[in-house]
Structure 1
């Protein structure tokens, strides 16, 4: 691949991303069809063998759905059990009593910041979204007023705090406040949501109950996957790597297994123990899955586009740019993570790829603060979430927004996190 074609490849990728946004947001074409067509077209223009294009797209869809579909399905079942039993109502009441109705958005960013520490963004989202819907209903505000602070807390933890704890908390807390509660107060009055939300009905429409499950047992059920994933993360510290016990801890700490165990536990704690029979539990868990079908398809399509961009060589070209510009390590880490994020839609791919590029440069220059480099790279990895990011569609569908509204809320929120966190990281670099 010549250098000139490499630059053209970046141009093709940029045109493809712009076309995606315009066709979906402006002309309101079916997102799944548009993403599929653009992905195949980009692959052909980029010179991928026609015989391998569909296989690459399918591989990307399958890899993404292998995780997201299971997480969304299990999380939705757990959320449905919380809703039908009144567990979500109990948690919402407790949060409102502690924080007050006027501070419900602060309550959600706090609980997201804490619960999200050991969890991937998607897992934390499906665990907390039924509570967000219930809090919004009780307080009488738009789901966005409590939902945006919640996703801000989860996103900040995912990008920053899970990487380096001490400095990340100092930077993550003000970032979450600015991108969450403060931005929510600004943008929510400007967003008019439809009166009906199919997914909201799954969590709010239930038969009135005289007795709600206790706050303790409800939180124990919700936090079970959090605890299990923490144990999985600490497995090599708790036990000898490679032993049977170590493998067991890693197994139960897997996000899918942790959610599965929590969902099974909820059938007892929030189901049978609350007077529901097996037929009722089966009905709850079956009926709540239908509204999630469109979410999983769209997230899978984003994964297919991601795979095409990688296989076509777009990511390699972005990495190649790193060696042509003389930038400070912090700016380089943020910039190339941002470029990878915009191109692939994956924060994880952006972070890992940018780290692989920047780390040798930083070592060669003798940069003394690798923890700040990690934070800058993490900040870049969440910028400008758009239609090739599974999280974009997760937020859009659960909160029942249009694509344009999702750009105004979620995309801007993610970009705020990126810019504020990077600015604070640069400021911190002058103080230490």
Structure 2
């Protein structure tokens, strides 16, 4: 057996062992990820004196972004919930779509909010709405939440200005306008199938039991639908929507900085800084101090108490996301990711399918959709040069592959599991299947679109 095949089998064995430790032995996911990563690194021949440093680099590289985003987004969500802002948006969405179609409302909200933001940013912005809508309508968190994460995932993987999609646009020399248009043509029906339609089906077979700490932290104390909101005036829909969308608008503005000021100018740098997810969320939080805080009659001490209450449940999930990133770094440093990509390159398949396959292999190996898409585009672009395949469709095929089979080495897996209050097997049945449906359906729509262009 070749060394490449041995590496792939080792990576597969590590993933299976990780799932076994968490699902069967009920070991804490953070500890399971840490133990599995170190054992895999040692077995793969990484230098023992560098093993922990390599793992820490993966953890630190992820937490530097994730911890700030989750913290700021959770604070903003808490203030929106305590002020009644989440209740106001929930009432409006229920009024527009009706109680029987709130899962479609969450998909639409995610597609709009998710256009210019990272998946995890959109997730922490919208999850309070998911909890509130689910409580008010008596709908399960799965039926309301899966359409939200499906919408966010689709735009994250397919639509510029997301960083990986922009990298793929540059690598394939695609036209960004046509890429956005084709991505929406492919993405909207894909989100509908993987979101509301799949959620309505799987909701019959997966039941979440027990209290949800995150739902209690991000709603009105977890006291039930409409609690603490019937006796006070709710904030207006317009100001609530503006507050939650301010980070989205700032990030969108940052991605268009070159339209407003010359590149490398001080103005351009300032616009890009304000469009950074951390800065944008901070601006939204500061505005929320006014619109959701003082304007609703809360003093600074009360606002501070709200922020302290909501941060405690985020500690474990932040550690788990970081540990997952460390596991992905071990896979890359051990050469397992390169081995997976090498095997995919030797398969004689059409270009669109090759782009999807390479990205899918990278996604499964590293857990990162961004890394998978960026890496696959760099690998496939030289092969695609001079071909008659639409470069815009290559971007979509690569993005579709980068979303497949989210599992234990993906931070998104743990975000969904922890916030939704699911077990690991339940997360596989819902989130992992949802992501895989997105990947396959988006590829099929891309291939269909290729027949018409």
Same fold by TM-score greater than 0.5:
yes
CA distances 1:205-255 after superposition (whole Å, capped 9, x unpaired): 344441111111111110000000001100112210111101100100000
Between the aligned partners of 1:101 and 1:4, the Cα distance in structure 2 is 57
1:415 aligns with 2:436: yes
Between the aligned partners of 1:111 and 1:317, the Cα distance in structure 2 is 39
Structure 1 match to 2:389: 368
Indicate which of 174, 179, 191 corresponds to 1:176. Answer: 191
Between the aligned partners of 1:102 and 1:262, the Cα distance in structure 2 is 31
Between the aligned partners of 1:69 and 1:82, the Cα distance in structure 2 is 20
Alignment of 1:395-414 (within 5 A): 395-414=416-435
1:223 aligns with 2:238: no
Does the Cα contact within 8 Å between 2:369 and 2:402 map onto a contact in 1?
yes
Structure 1 unmatched runs, 5+ = none
Structure 2 match to 1:18: 16
Alignment of 1:23-422 (within 5 A): 23-162=21-160, 163=165, 164-206=179-221, 207-208=228-229, 209-364=231-386, 366-422=387-443
Does the Cα contact within 8 Å between 1:329 and 1:367 map onto a contact in 2?
no
User: Could you list the runs of 4 or more consecutive aligned residues of structure 1 that deviate by over 4 angstroms after TM superposition?
Assistant: none
Q: What is the SS of the residue equivalent to 2:425?
A: helix
- TM-score, normalisation: structure 1: 0.97
Does the Cα contact within 8 Å between 1:39 and 1:308 map onto a contact in 2?
yes
Between the aligned partners of 1:87 and 1:428, the Cα distance in structure 2 is 41
Deviation at 1:115, TM superposition (A): 0.9
**Alignment size in residue pairs:** 429
Deviation at 1:314, TM superposition (A): 1.6
User: For residues 16 and 269 of structure 1, do their structure 2 counterparts lie closer, same or farther at Cα, with a shift above 3 Å needed?
Assistant: same
Between the aligned partners of 1:46 and 1:277, the Cα distance in structure 2 is 56
CA distances 1:259-287 after superposition (whole Å, capped 9, x unpaired): 01101110111001110000000000011
Deviation at 1:124, TM superposition (A): 0.3
Does the Cα contact within 8 Å between 1:61 and 1:304 map onto a contact in 2?
yes
Deviation at 1:321, TM superposition (A): 2.6
Structure 2 unmatched runs, 5+ = 166-178, 222-227
Between the aligned partners of 1:92 and 1:345, the Cα distance in structure 2 is 33
Between the aligned partners of 1:320 and 1:334, the Cα distance in structure 2 is 14
Q: What is the SS of the residue equivalent to 2:195?
A: helix
Between the aligned partners of 1:358 and 1:328, the Cα distance in structure 2 is 11
Between the aligned partners of 2:349 and 2:302, the Cα distance in structure 1 is 61
Between the aligned partners of 1:75 and 1:66, the Cα distance in structure 2 is 15
Between the aligned partners of 1:314 and 1:246, the Cα distance in structure 2 is 40
Structure 1 match to 2:225: none
CA distances 1:45-92 after superposition (whole Å, capped 9, x unpaired): 111111100001011011111111111111110011001100100011
User: For residues 131 and 26 of structure 1, do their structure 2 counterparts lie closer, same or farther at Cα, with a shift above 3 Å needed?
Assistant: same
Deviation at 1:17, TM superposition (A): 1.2
Q: Which range is displaced more, 9-18 or 271-280? A: 9-18
CA distances 1:132-152 after superposition (whole Å, capped 9, x unpaired): 111111111111111110111
Q: Which range is displaced more, 135-144 or 412-421? A: 135-144
Between the aligned partners of 1:368 and 1:171, the Cα distance in structure 2 is 17
